[in-house]
Structure 1
Amino acid sequence: MTGFHARPLTRPTPLRGSNGVAFGPDGRLYVAQFLAGEISAVDLATGDVEVVVPAGGPVQAPDDLAFGTDGSMYLTDLVPGRVWRRHPDGTFTLVTDRVRLPNGITCIGDRLFVNEMIPGGRLLELGDGEPKVLAGELAMGNAMQLGPDGALYYPHMLTGEVFRIPPDGGTPELVATDVHEPVAVRFDLGGVLQVLSRGAAGIVTRIDLLGTGDRTLLTSGLTGLDNAAFDTENRMFVSSYAAGGITELHPDGRTREITPRGFAGPYGVTVDLGGTVHVADHYRITEPHDGDVTTTELLTFAHGIAADGDLLHLTAQYGQVRTYDRATREVRTRAEGLDQPLGIAVRADGTLLVAESGAGRVLAIDAEDTVSVLADGFGRPAGVAVDGEGPCYFSDEERGAVYRLDGETTTVLADDLGAPQGIAVVDGCLYVAETATGKLAAVDLATGAVRTAADLPASPGRTGELPALHAHGLPGVPRPFTGLATAPGNSLYAAAGGTVLHLTPAAAS
């Protein structure tokens, strides 16, 4: 590092946002990673992780997977709306592209079934011709499995219900109601139905369908459960869309970490007046503590973040600006329908400043939620910062520049930067995260001189062109964002490299 000492607050997880899981023919647990765009295999004995399908290939947004009798891996590619077959030799064949947000997938012998994670979705059997519709009007389907009675079980995420249907078709039968935020259904080796909750408490609802019919709840504390698989010893291994990693979940609620959980991103970072670090992590607001990541609130699509007393102001790349009150846990929508808002900052009078990346604008949102345009006609604004009661600053990653905005006057402070994103003002310097070069640049506000202040680790996962941000009216894959925040002692926090770095001046470290 140049000029700063960097200390990571957490260890990066090798499985960012773990989703669908299934045991492969080699005995390893295979994990689909929607945000990372990868498929990994986990050796449960050692915790070793191997990326078997890297990002950048034909599969763009893998969310669930299953294995056929010949060892082929079948994958749902959520955002593009495709289902793939990965043959044992590693080659890919497109099974279909005539589905909308395919998510849950399972094999029954040589037969392949998928469902659509949309309101009014379908449950389909895929073959050589047109998909066969087994059921319609699913209230967002997800992970499903064949039950011991020969029926196919699946959740309705929006209604808290579980249904079953014969694989050859028929009338869907309601199995359970009032299930807590169901995201996946699984059966253990004893035939007991396990319904995973996607909520903050990590609830698993167990229903003894073959015996007493009793329902019991297990609260694991694993935030954002996504999927599960049972091994030959009936051990349950679960994934988390929010925290990633793989965890063994015992019947009595004890957990054993197989691969570490951590950030799904991270994206934006901010520090409140008490010195607490808050991180926007796509599915949640988090705080890093003692090498771990704790969830403040599950709040989907949190990307930019700015602290303001008990308030946390957030942007979502899908068009929203919201304010979360830590005291009441209430969420207030400040603006919606924006075009990819990213960075956010707060003026002394409470006005929010937002970099509206997709529209090339910088916006102001006042206390009455009136939105006005401060600057327009730019490329792709990304980061925004304020300097006390003075001017505001913003970066433009498309034009490779940072600007000062004073009233209606916009001045170029520096250009020829490498895709600048997060920015922060500290002691007469504007610090800029150059994501294309992996550098932290320091711009002297008095002279305009630019120097490299530190090296920043590259964010893991995707590079190059990303899948669509929206698909079928639902959010797709967000663009990475390297956030910066000021902290006491002229230090900085940077969301980079799959963790948050505390950057302290070298003389003070």
Structure 2
Amino acid sequence: MTTTPRRRAGLLAAMVLAIGLGACSVTPPSRPNGWSTPEVLVAPSAFKGVHGLAVDAQGRLLAGSVVGNAIWEVDRNTGAAKVFIGAPQGQADDIAVGPKGELAWTAYLQGALHYRERDDAPIRVLASGLPGLNSLAFDPRNGKLYASQVFLGDAVWEIDVAGQKPPRLIAKDVGGFNGFEVGPDGLLYGPLWFKGQVVKLDPADGKVTPINREFTVPAAANLDGKGKLWVVDTYHGQLASVDLTTGRKTVVQQLNKAVDNLAIAPDGTIYVANMADNSVQAYQPTTGQLRTLTSGKVAVPGGLEIDGDSLYVTDLFAFRKVDLMTGAVSDIFRMQSSDLEYPFSLGLSAQQFVLTSWFTGTVHVIDRTNYKTKALIHKLKAPSDAVVLPDGSLLVVELGTGTLTQMSGSDYQQRRVVVSGLQGPVQLLLGRDGAAYLTEAAGTLTRVNLADGAKTVVASGLAMPEGVAQTPWGSFIVAETAARRLTEIDPVSGAKRSVAENLPIGFEPGPGMPAPYLPTGVAVAADGTVYFSADRDNGIYRLRPWR
């Protein structure tokens, strides 16, 4: 039988998978002398999920990133992007420009609102202690500033720009008043995320008046000054206009799902942000032309797993598959248009995907045969990774409790703590010897006997180890993110060998976030090729073995 290189690689990967299932045996490749320099599999991109947009008084297009802790400036002609306000003060879910050129932005994860009068002025905190502080807008007539909480809260506030008075509560439990704008009449115009409506809200008394009820998940709305309200629906990936007089909705442009915000420039150009694509697009209402200024194939890549010619990736705002032969990226799920819950890490078995989110306290079990959700396990204490055991049960590590727990039963409610006292467990795998191996932020690669919970330190002195994968010849590749390197570890002797140095990994967390913030994923193919996700530049790379 004649086989192509692609088919040979797939057959070899299938045989290695069969080894793990005990179906047959095959001689693994020998340990290489080393690895090549990193090659790009999926190209890097700006941002780490892009959200709020604004065109400031100087004509600059500004884009906010929550996870990336920064505001970026995007060239409106070339799409070139650069950091405008860096971490941690630059964290921005939404950005607003005042009538005198003032700039304000919401730090969603910090629950704070930042403000500065001009580029060379100091940054001030006008409000704090408001979890989920999301959107904001100035009244162009008088400079009043309004802000809303969404997801981690549900309220609308007036913020004192002078910083002398505490925020004034305007309304609460309104239904998720997301990206909004202040109209010439002083009313707030915006969407209700959880009610599928576009409304106007009176800041004097909090009264809400629906304008249109035909949206599914409206994320943001902006006025064009010509009697229309422009709205993005993140569930459908649509840009629509709503006539303020009649309330009539017109879908004008189909976009990708997971669109998050928009801004209208003085010349009428509508800029739209997509969190899952790290993209900013420009739409011209007069011509219907849509132009992509900047984008990425992945947004915030984390956990990696290989099966045959496919590399599966948890991408925070999406769950994706990468073709290892071509580097082509395809979506499996996207945030807002599925039940995906901000996945950071990934486990893989022949029957299931297991996605984990420390942020939402969730383990998401997906059936690989039909891509349907088998279980969404909530209320966990910052789970950082999970794997499937041969009997179908799960092993889950929790940052919040420092435990490794086996979960079983039809609803995974039967719990057995295998081991406790772990020091910042990050990533987990099931070794070929049947034991669990995990990285601990304290600096160790640890082996856990699943029968009795006995712990053995395989290697210590590691610099913030995160992703871990086992090679075909039995060693482990660990991402030492604080040292920005990949290291090979012999499980018998604990001996270490550098795989690659000076890598774009080890992105620093913002205030209040756990140190294993964006996990660097590691995967090893059947031939010994090493793949890793890069949280500093959002790329995915590979290193080929040489023998």
TM-score (norm 2): 0.83
Residue 468 of structure 1: how far off its partner (Å): 4.7
Q: Which residue of 2 aligns with 1:161?
A: 197
Q: Is the 8 A contact 2:219 2:261 kept in 1?
A: yes
Q: Which residue of 2 aligns with 1:224?
A: 258
Task: For residues 388-443 of structure 1, give each alpha carbon's deviation from its aligned partner in whole angstroms, at most 9, with x where no partner exists.
Answer: 35322111121x11122233232211111111111111112111111111111111
Q: Which residue of 2 aligns with 1:472?
A: none
Task: For residues 204-259 of structure 1, give each alpha carbon's deviation from its aligned partner in whole angstroms, at most 9, with x where no partner exists.
Answer: 2322224x643222452323111111223322111122222211235587632211
Q: 1:300 to 1:373 in 2, by over 3 A?
A: same
Q: Alignment identity in percent? A: 25
Q: 1:231 to 1:464 in 2, by over 3 A?
A: closer
Cα distance in 2, alignment partners of residues 478 and 185 from structure 1: 35
**Partner SS state of residue 301, structure 1:** coil
Cα distance in 2, alignment partners of residues 20 and 173 from structure 1: 24
Q: 1:415 to 1:120 in 2, by over 3 A?
A: closer
Q: Is the 8 A contact 1:5 1:505 kept in 2?
A: no
Residue 34 in structure 1 maps to residue 66 in structure 2: yes
Q: Which residue of 2 aligns with 1:76?
A: 106
Residue 125 of structure 1: how far off its partner (Å): 2.1
Q: Name whichever structure is richer in strand by fraction.
A: 1
- Give the letter for the 2:243 counterpart: D
Residue 450 in structure 1 maps to residue 496 in structure 2: yes
Q: Which residue of 2 aligns with 1:47?
A: 79
Q: Is the 8 A contact 1:119 1:139 kept in 2?
A: no
Residue 328 in structure 1 maps to residue 370 in structure 2: yes
- Give the letter for the 1:385 counterpart: L
Q: Is the 8 A contact 1:17 1:244 kept in 2?
A: yes
- Give the letter for the 1:73 counterpart: L
Residue 19 of structure 1: how far off its partner (Å): 0.8
Query: How many residues are matched?
Result: 493
Residue 310 of structure 1: how far off its partner (Å): 5.1
Counterparts in 2 of 1:306-345, with a 5 A limit? 306-309=347-350, 311-317=352-358, 318-333=360-375, 335-345=377-387
RMSD over equivalenced CA pairs, Å? 2.6
Cα distance in 2, alignment partners of residues 372 and 396 from structure 1: 20
Cα distance in 1, alignment partners of residues 502 and 347 from structure 2: 21
**Partner SS state of residue 400, structure 2:** helix
Residue 380 of structure 1: how far off its partner (Å): 1.0
Q: Is the 8 A contact 1:9 1:500 kept in 2?
A: yes
Residue 367 of structure 1: how far off its partner (Å): 5.1
Cα distance in 2, alignment partners of residues 385 and 182 from structure 1: 39
Counterparts in 2 of 1:449-488, with a 5 A limit? 449-455=495-501, 457-459=503-505, 462-463=507-508, 466-468=511-513, 479-488=517-526
Cα distance in 2, alignment partners of residues 305 and 381 from structure 1: 15
Match 2:157 to one of 107, 124, 128: 124
Residue 268 in structure 1 maps to residue 303 in structure 2: yes
Residue 348 in structure 1 maps to residue 390 in structure 2: yes
- Give the letter for the 1:65 counterpart: I
Q: Is the 8 A contact 1:220 1:254 kept in 2?
A: no
Q: 1:33 to 1:386 in 2, by over 3 A?
A: same
Q: 1:342 to 1:120 in 2, by over 3 A?
A: closer
- In structure 1, runs of 5+ residues without a counterpart are 470-476
Q: Which residue of 2 aligns with 1:203?
A: 238
Q: Which residue of 1 aligns with 2:6?
A: none
Counterparts in 2 of 1:16-415, with a 5 A limit? 16-57=48-89, 61-88=91-118, 89-97=120-128, 99-109=130-140, 110-118=143-151, 121-127=154-160, 128-147=164-183, 151-169=187-205, 171-199=207-235, 201-210=236-245, 213-218=247-252, 220-251=254-285, 255-272=290-307, 274-288=308-322, 293-298=329-334, 299-309=340-350, 311-317=352-358, 318-333=360-375, 335-366=377-408, 368=410, 369=412, 370-388=414-432, 390-398=434-442, 400-406=443-449, 407-408=451-452, 409-415=454-460
Q: Which residue of 1 aligns with 2:468?
A: 423
Q: Is the 8 A contact 1:106 1:112 kept in 2?
A: yes
Residue 492 in structure 1 maps to residue 530 in structure 2: yes
Cα distance in 2, alignment partners of residues 363 and 253 from structure 1: 54
- Give the letter for the 2:126 counterpart: V
Residue 365 of structure 1: how far off its partner (Å): 2.5
